[in-house]
Amino acid sequence: MDTHKHSRARLGEQFGGDHGGGPVIVEGTSCGPTGASVAALPSLSCRVQYEQQSFVVSVSNISERGMFIPGGSPPTLGSIVNVHLVCPGGEDVVAEGEVRSLGVDPQVILGTTGFVLRFTTVSSGASTLQTLGKRRIELLRRANDGDAQLVPLLLLPELSLVAMRDRISRYPLSPLLESFIQEYQAVGMPHRNKSLWKSTRMGMDVVMLPSVTPELKPLINDIKTLGAMADVLLDDLADEKQDRERLEKMIALFGRRLTGQGTAPVPVGDPYLEFASSLWERMWDMIERLPRCSEFVRVLQYDWHQVINSMRYSLLVNQIPALQNATEHDAYVPHNMHMMCNATLDLMCSPTVNMAELGAIRKVALLAQDLGRIGNMVTTWEREIMSRDFTSGVFAHAVDQGVLSVREIESQPPRALASQLRHSGVETRLLLTWERKRAEVLGLRSTTRVDLEAFAELLDEMLAIQLALRGII
């Protein structure tokens, strides 16, 4: 029996005939041995069965965690789907999975028709999935190869972004944070609503080093949320108001804690700066009581200098749009996500972490910060464009990819720019970069005792929180 006929036979044994009248089986491409040269993802025949649907389709977006199934009449979110993936040259994959997202949802798959399946049970073919997953990762790691074939496979931990929004809305805040949020609302930007602060605090719980002492988690995550608020106060001056004078005054207020020298100037007659100074001093008073503060304080001071530099760069780009380029954006702006600061704060509450692991942990944190920035860009650029804030990497990458020119960014109405960007594929490529960097995180597993498999799952949840608030924050 030849391979094609044998594949048909194996599919028929598992699921029976083609009841759905779907596409005919295409000849599968051999999986090949692990470590083989990767030119493209294999296109493999897959029997798909759910509810009353049964059809065969060619698939290529596959990893150990799940797969993207193109076409067909999409099932409902949370449905259970059975698949039989025929892999000539390797063991067939027989698995059951749960529908996590639909391709018609532009927030997830960006216009590609189909749905994402997250495997819940793999009856056979686990080694085949590992091989296919490695081939996908190799394509993702290549700077320019393969992206046109790949659909972002965002296996989000919630069945629905609506469910995630509901979870955020019910998230409780401490009296300390409630107090500072009320003060921010009196002086800050009106679009920074309570959903932002709830999602920020919830995100601190999600993306946290597992080494943090459990009883210190509420305290450290409140401190990190205050840091994010200080970050936002800087960002509002750099991006929203584009007020260089007041931005530099705020940086001067922060200087004493970051250098250990001199005294902080006292702001007078500016409620915004008075609030920023009060928040900053309260946050550092709390930091100084953390168990390992003295060991890591200079690292934290350095991290905050990078946050401040990102704000100066953002203001410069807003005032001189010709500076737009993805290389500088990706080097400087991710620091405004504050995640390197957060990782250092986590270390201050991690009694078991050996200082010898510091370099490896910071490499992981820097990658996580890049992931956080990508999620933030995709979530917020449409709001930012309306206020002509062009510091989002969406614009820098659009310029580098030839989608937009600097002249168009400066002269076109915001709605025209937004329409052009939505249909450009820039978001898709950014989400593929998200996947690539997530793969890099997992590639560092041998360098640290931190459970990076679990940490990568937390990064998925961070992205779900961000996408759930698209159009809200």
The pLDDT value given to residue 53: 86
The pLDDT value given to residue 151: 55
- pLDDT tens digits for 348-366? 999 999 999 999 999 999 9
Q: In the chain, what percentage of residues exceed pLDDT 90?
A: 43
3-class SS at 391? coil
The pLDDT value given to residue 18: 47
- pLDDT tens digits for 128-154? 998 888 787 777 666 454 455 555 555
Let me know: does 101 contact 160? Beta carbons within 8 Å. Answer: no
Q: Residue 38 pLDDT more than 70?
A: no
Q: What is the mean pLDDT of residues 308-335?
A: 93
Q: For residue 143, give the DSSP letter.
A: S
Reported confidence tier of residue 160, pLDDT bands at 50, 70, 90 = low
The span from the CA of 210 to the CA of 347, in Å, is 10
DSSP secondary structure string, 415-440? HHHHHHHHTSSHHHHHHHHHHHHHHH
Q: What is the mean pLDDT of residues 396-409?
A: 88
Q: Which two tokens stand for residue 77?
A: 């979110």
Single pTM value for the model:
0.77
The span from the CA of 276 to the CA of 223, in Å, is 14
Strands (E), 216-375: none
Could you tell me what percentage of the chain is helix, strand and coil, using 3-state DSSP and rounding each to the nearest 5?
55, 10, 35
Q: Residue 338 pLDDT more than 90?
A: yes
Reported confidence tier of residue 292, pLDDT bands at 50, 70, 90 = very high
The pLDDT value given to residue 112: 62
- pLDDT tens digits for 262-273? 776 777 789 999
Range scoring the smallest mean pLDDT among 70-74, 102-106, 285-289, 303-307: 102-106
Q: Classify the C-alpha dihedral 387-392-397-399 as positive or negative.
A: positive
Let me know: does 470 contact 379? Beta carbons within 8 Å. Answer: yes
Say which residue the tokens 């992205």 belong to.
Answer: 463
The span from the CA of 333 to the CA of 325, in Å, is 11
The pLDDT value given to residue 427: 80
Mean pLDDT of the chain: 83
The pLDDT value given to residue 225: 98
- pLDDT tens digits for 204-213? 998 998 889 9
The pLDDT value given to residue 218: 96
